[in-house]
Amino acid sequence: MGFLNNQFLLNTNRSQELYRCFASAMPIFDFHCHIEAKELAENKPYENITRLWLGGDHYKWRAMRINGVDEDLITGKADDFTKFQAWADTIQHAIGNPLYHWTHLELARYFDIDYPLTVSNCEYVYRECSERLQTPDMLPQNIVSRSNVVAICTTDDPADDLRYHAVLAKSDFDTKVLPTFRPDRAAQIDKPGFRDYIEKLSAISGVKINNFTGLCDALSKRADFFEANSCKSSDISLEIPDFNPIGADTAIQIVLSGGELTAEQAMNFRSGLYLFLGELYHKKNWVMQLHIGALRSASTALLSRIGPNTGFDAVDDYSYIRPLAAYLNTLQNAGHLPKTILYNLNGKDTQALAALAATFCGDGIPGKVQYGAAWWFLDTLEGNREQLKKLSGLYLLPRFIGMLTDSRSLLSYTRHEYFRRILCGMLGEQMENGLIPNDLKYIGKIIQDISFNNAYSFFGLA
């Protein structure tokens, strides 16, 4: 079997039929990513493949550091080809890492390069890709269009002015580019820069924030603004070692007056804010996405020089199932539980989170609380398979809302293909082994729903 051929990850005849007939042509709804609306609105050609591939991808940066590449060739001032050459050397050592498959799928689908990238051929590949990027069909908007993407949800701070979303909404770009409300910084009361952020939020909302009520009023006004700009969803990096929404006002007043909080007071503040946000999202019929378990900025030596979101995060390990259940239960008892997606980063929590999601479904909404796609460090070949197994065993797989890119690169839409091949491979094998009906149309409809239909409906776009 050849590398990345038509049967890639499709080891049975049924799997190949399912992918060819039902999955491959389905459109994409990328409901969580880190694409910049500015990049799409300006629609400028990329100078070369390094700028597009390595300009902001901390997945690649981590791999390059593991490979012993000097930082100057990763985020430093080395020339673009030298950086690409360092990446080519790294990818040769990435066998078994999803980056190996993702990289070569992107080369094949966007540049018609169907052989492995190596140091010996990297100069040719660099030139071919960079020349192709100067053609009209590789402008940012055209990359999205040729990837069959009908809608994108970006990730945006409540204080963002959303100017580029407004530009795109008035343009002739067919793909919907919708903002996502992500108030992480409003929750980071015990982190440096919180008071500066509160001043910024106060200025843009026109609300004086000197207590918890003021913070909630400011966030409500910004949520109204996001709603006016077609927002359908929220997101937050949830920190929930315990849940006790008492004393939020005391905590914020201590910090705004220059004092310091105990860990318990910070937790109380976050609990109160999470509760308010859940109620706000329910009122607006937004989807609430909760990403749980990231250990942010674990390595500080290079972080202080390079900055956050550059590849120095890891997987946290603490028990959050009970406080998360208490949070969801409080919202549900008050009639304020929004449609919710739960994402875990620690693989040990996979079964617990899938079971918890099923516990809070209801209100006649299919899959109201979702166990989300394999996220970040779990987004591997085996991580996706394990996520699908837990969904099948503890949830209803046909109600799953499917994959996302969680990426900063427009070439990452091949991750949807990667996931769909994994899904078809699993279900096709089960068909041939007699574990599920050998009914192509029935199973094919499930695949189409997971690939696109379920998410498009869940976010209120259908």
- Enumerate residues 6+ apart whose C-beta is below 8 A from 19: 10, 420, 421, 424, 428
Burial 389-421 (b: 16+ CB within 10 A, else e): ebbbebbebbbbbbbbbbbbbbbbbbbbbbbbb
Which alpha helices (DSSP H) does 19-57 contain, by range?
37-42, 49-53
Summarize pLDDT for 297-319 with one digit per residue, the tens: 899 887 888 888 889 999 999 99
421: left (phi over 0), alpha (psi -120 to 50) or beta: alpha
Summarize pLDDT for 366-390 with one digit per residue, the tens: 999 999 999 999 999 999 999 999 9
Radius of gyration of the chain from Cα atoms? 22
CB contact at 8 A, 338 and 362: no
CATH architecture assignment, domain 13-43+139-458:
Alpha-Beta Barrel (3.20)
Q: Which two tokens stand for residue 219?
A: 């966030």
pTM listed for this prediction:
0.97
Q: How far is CA 341 from the centre of its chain?
A: 11
CA angle 193, 197, 198 (to 5 degrees): 120
Summarize pLDDT for 29-72 with one digit per residue, the tens: 999 999 999 999 999 999 999 999 998 899 999 999 999 999 99
Summarize pLDDT for 67-84 with one digit per residue, the tens: 999 999 999 999 999 999
Strand partners, 28: 149
**Residues present in the chain in total:** 462
- Tell me how far apart the alpha carbons of residues 258 and 390 are, in angstroms, rounded to a whole number: 47
Strand pairing category for 294-295 and 314-315: antiparallel
- Tell me how far apart the alpha carbons of residues 373 and 405 are, in angstroms, rounded to a whole number: 10
Per-residue pLDDT of the chain (462 residues; tens, 9 = 90+): 578 999 999 999 999 999 999 999 999 999 999 999 999 999 999 999 999 999 889 999 999 999 999 999 999 999 999 999 999 999 999 999 999 999 999 999 999 999 999 999 999 999 999 999 999 999 999 999 999 999 999 999 999 999 999 999 999 999 999 999 999 999 999 999 999 999 999 999 999 999 999 999 999 999 999 999 999 999 999 999 999 999 999 999 999 999 999 999 999 999 999 999 999 999 999 999 999 999 998 998 878 888 888 899 999 999 999 999 999 999 999 999 999 999 999 999 999 999 999 999 999 999 999 999 999 999 999 999 999 999 999 999 999 999 999 999 999 999 999 999 999 999 999 999 999 999 999 999 999 999 999 999 999 998
CB contact at 8 A, 421 and 9: yes
**Residue 1: predicted pLDDT:** 58
Torsions phi, psi for 290 (to 5 deg): -120, 110
Summarize pLDDT for 411-441 with one digit per residue, the tens: 999 999 999 999 999 999 999 999 999 999 9
CB contact at 8 A, 46 and 133: yes
CB contact at 8 A, 251 and 189: yes
Nearest to 414 by CA among 98, 152, 124: 98
Which alpha helices (DSSP H) does 5-97 contain, by range?
13-18, 37-42, 49-53, 58-66, 80-91
Check: CATH 1.10.730.10 for 45-138?
no
- Tell me how far apart the alpha carbons of residues 7 and 457 are, in angstroms, rounded to a whole number: 30
Nearest to 381 by CA among 345, 342, 426: 426
Torsions phi, psi for 406 (to 5 deg): 50, 40
CA angle 76, 80, 83 (to 5 degrees): 65
For every residue of 414-456, DSSP letters joined together read HHHHHHHHHHHHHHHHHHHTTSS---HHHHHHHHHIIIIIHHH
CB atoms under 10 Å from CB of 263, counted, come to 10
Q: Where are the domains of the chain?
A: 13-43+139-458, 45-138
